[in-house]
Structure 1
Amino acid sequence: MTGERVLDLFQGARLTPTQRRIAQILVEHSGKAAYLSAAEVAGLAGVSQPSVTRFAMALGYRGYPALRRELRAVTSGAPSEPAGRNGMQRAVLAEADHLRRVADDLGRLEDVRKAAAILAGSRPLPVLGLRAAGPLAGYFGYFAAKVFPDVRVLDCGGTGLLDRLDQARAAGATALLAMVLPRYPREAVAAIREARAAGFAVVAITDSAVSPITELAEVVLPAAVGTHLVFDLHTGPMAMAMVLLEAMCDTAPEPVHRRLEEFEAAASRRGLFVA
């Protein structure tokens, strides 16, 4: 849990690729990060010592010593693992912590509302999610399509992906929702760069402020993934996706309500559900 507490220091910060590398090193070495000198951090990250100083200042500290003091305060107050818990229980409890952090971040809704306004006005609305993020993109797209016309889930890579982005843009799309989760598919990052070059506004749901797509998006909505099991848990990003969809619905409540009523009437007429 110490690494996650260190990661919290970087949430919401706009970091350069070099600064993201430094942040990642501090997270990976969270157990001793608070006692490393700027030179030692620079050596681990493969960057210059001034880069470490600039990183600290980008986070709002006067220099690296001030950031190190904050790291010591954070890591010294980290609670120990609950006694008597097995690995599965700890993994689930960690997800509960992730959801609490999402809830805390939602204390200020400016970013969510800005993202919702950007996406709700796009017709069609492409939703990108490759590899591990594919199911999340599909989940969001399934529900979004009930209330927004022409939601296009882009969950397959290859050269056809760029064709589908071009087609969405030609059809009038102005924004792209990108779901990018570890291990950050290279193809997804490249597609987002292409989308930006084509004039799309990009909203991203990703796992942290050190994600490689933070510098490519107008709005970033971070939600941590669980790393306590062999494969990641995506409870936090899924919750963030549904919060975003709720905010999108709030931008046009009357059309949304009408479309939902139309869907329910059609579902009843066709006998889609057993209950």
Structure 2
Amino acid sequence: MIQPPAGDDDVPRYWRELGLPGLVDVHVHFLPERVQAKVWQYFADAETHYGAPWPVTYALPVDERLAVLARLGVRAFPTLPYPHKPGMAGWLNEQAAAFAGEHPQVLQSATFYPEPEASGYVEEALDAGARVFKVHVQVGRFDPRDPLLDPVWARLERTGAPVVIHCGSGPLRGDHTGPAPMTGLLERFPRLQLVIAHLGMPEYGAFLELAERYERVHLDTTMFATDFTERLMPFDRSLLPRLAALRDKVLLGSDFPAIPYPYAHQLAALHRLDLGEDWLRAVLWDNGARLFDVGH
């Protein structure tokens, strides 16, 4: 019997015993320095926002964060920038492209916001090699069905570029979070390659249904089933058979570096779901490697 990792130093033993070459993590953030500082300050004040402390485990300089991921065996990961107002997305995309150019393990990321310029800079990002996009409905405070985004969604549907989208109402509800806006979006663009962040917490069942209904809708495990999340937004264990059946559409996500526990805990939390080693192999490596064409 393979045992879950006891700590970060034990993570490579874990994925090796599963027969994997490493991990593909589809939900990692590396943001421009001043943006990162503001994000970490937000989490420092988490008790005000969430009613619970949120100590950032990996509030480290960039080089040290990269070294942590390398020691863990994370072979590929994005940087997932996201704007909270107009006029940010273009320069976030430029920064993300430059960062990916310096680090071959990074999946070049980009983002967008509902503004007239969006279709232009999304096209530029794709031409520059963007492999994954990030959208944060709660932070951006916009409806993903905004008509300004119609040409963007149409273009991404044609290219099949994955979009990691935080659209569930956890840990904070927004004006446009929840399954209804995403259902409406997918009714108009059913071939979008979406990755629903955090498994759609806390509306787990509704987002499982979207993954069941739409061929290219995936789910990521970011913070899912961890002790921290189970206290705030517990997962109904009666949904486990549906999660097991979606094995090929579930991707490892962590939210590194802004997680309030060691990275190994996310893996241990998935392990204790008791969905089997084949499910774990698919989630920790196979699905992400297939989606992003990551070789052994």
Do Structure 1 and Structure 2 share a fold, with TM-score over 0.5? no
Which has more helix, going by share of residues? 1
